[in-house]
Chain A
């Protein structure tokens, strides 16, 4: 049950990352990916007598927080430089 929810949230996060145009919504999708992983950690830790997964869930949260801080800083920077957070308009990498 829990693992299925994790898979579903992961897939939804993936969809959000791929389809949404706004960079901030994309970041929200990434947060959802992290959360799906965390559900897995906690779910498995439940069956593990050492509960090691819980510590890892905390570490993942820290990483998610770090990611959010840096990514949002980048988004702000880009928004200030280019005046938009629409990913379709940010195509400096076009080959």
Chain B
């Protein structure tokens, strides 16, 4: 029941984001979607991921986006976002969704090799403890974590460099 409710909420946010002509409303719609998805993560017993979702997306990305809106739109009139490519865009989106749904309907997930290997514990809802997650991140998943941290470092430097001071003729942005 809760799952259906939050799914509906997430979808509402998504549709609102696509349809609204106001950028700020779009940000609010994204917030709605992200919160609903975080709730869904909790329902999936992935509480660490949900917390990360709240912190990284709601706390970080969304705030960043709001700053972006404020800094990039001069003038008093609220930023707006018209739509282009309506027909082809919706057509492609519909095709994508239809194709994915078709694939989902026609896939037998129980036949996946790793599901077969784990057949004894199907749908075992293990509580997602922080300890287990941390162990996981430092043992089996240590390489992706390291790569992610490197990417993050590069991205931070890049973002600071790109958004940094105004470039001049004598001193081009390195």
Contact = CB atoms under 8 A, between A and B. Distances in A.
B125 A46 contact: yes
Contact of B97 (A7, A16, A65, A67): A7
Categorize the interface residue count of chain A. 35 or more
Categorize the interface residue count of chain B. 35 or more
Contacts of A90: none
Nearest to B45: A46
Contacts of A14: 89, 92-93, 96
A10 B71 CA distance: 28
Contacts of A52: 136, 140-141
A56 B144 contact: yes
Contacts of B88: 18
Contact of A58 (B49, B82, B104, B159): B49
With most chain B CB atoms within 10 A of its CB, the pick from A15, A42, A70, A85 is: A15
Given A25-B26, A49-B121, A54-B133, 6 more contacts: A1-B4, A4-B104, A22-B79, A31-B57, A47-B118, A54-B48
